[in-house]
Amino acid sequence: MRKFKNWGIVAVIFLLVGLALWWFALEIKERQVLLNQFDAFVYDDNDVLSWFELTSRNGKVKGEYHQQKIKEKETFSVTGKETEEGFELKVNKYGNVLVFDIKPSKSNLLVQKRGEKSSHLYRGVSQEELATSVEANREYNTEYVEKTRWKQFTVALKRNYGYLYAEEHGTYQLFLKVDEVLSGGELSGSLLVMNANGDSNKPYKETRYVMNGITDGKMVEFFPKVNGKYTKLDGYFLKDATGLDLLFWITGEQLRFHAVTEKEFKQSYEKFKLLKE
């Protein structure tokens, strides 16, 4: 009886060892699958960073597909299977299923969206390399957005003839003209101050000040020379450079200037001068 019992124990041990060897062999086989060898597979076209995070088990694939562009990141679920040439992946993108045909290429994946002729090489990377790519793409997009914003601002700024502050019954009428804006944000131009001071001998007076300054497309600072001393004028541009708010040192007020054409300025100039003289 004891003999049979010992043989039973031996049989169990052999079974356990066999299962462990089978599991170990299976693990080795699974680890040889390319999808399981890297933390992610990345493709970067500068504007959009795309990457797969995948695992393959028993011929079935699961994971996530990520896309990062400008200031947003999207994540979609992935399912798939092994094929004779590689893998077939299905990405559920807001209910629309996208199918990708995948071919291993050394340590990378050659990814082709079903229905498209071109394919893209997704690099196999570690988590650290993925984090570096994500940050680099974020910095690129931030710089791209800033360059685009600056270009749009300068185009709008140059399109305007100038900026006018005018009140129907005001004492002052001001006209700011920007002659040049450089890539570093430096500005140069002039400010025409038209003043109806109420003096019976000389009721109307106008003075032109050289205006040098700096802007980032939002804030603006000008440094005119007033009575022999440089004065700092703070302000900011409105959206699309349609106007700007700027401190007027004489009254100490922040005034709203609006973009005008050359014709609009001349009409306002002649009207103000005629009424005040």
- Percentage of residues of the chain with pLDDT beyond 90: 61
- Percentage of residues of the chain with pLDDT beyond 70: 85
Residue-level pLDDT at 127:
94
Which two tokens mark 202?
Answer: 């000389």
Residue 25 has pLDDT above 50, yes or no: no
Q: Give the tens place of pLDDT for each residue, 35-88.
A: 889 999 999 987 899 999 998 888 889 999 999 987 788 999 999 999 988 999
pLDDT tier at 236, thresholds 50, 70, 90:
very high
Residue-level pLDDT at 106:
87
Which two tokens mark 43?
Answer: 């493709």
Residue 31 has pLDDT above 90, yes or no: no
Residue-level pLDDT at 200:
61
pLDDT tier at 265, thresholds 50, 70, 90:
very high
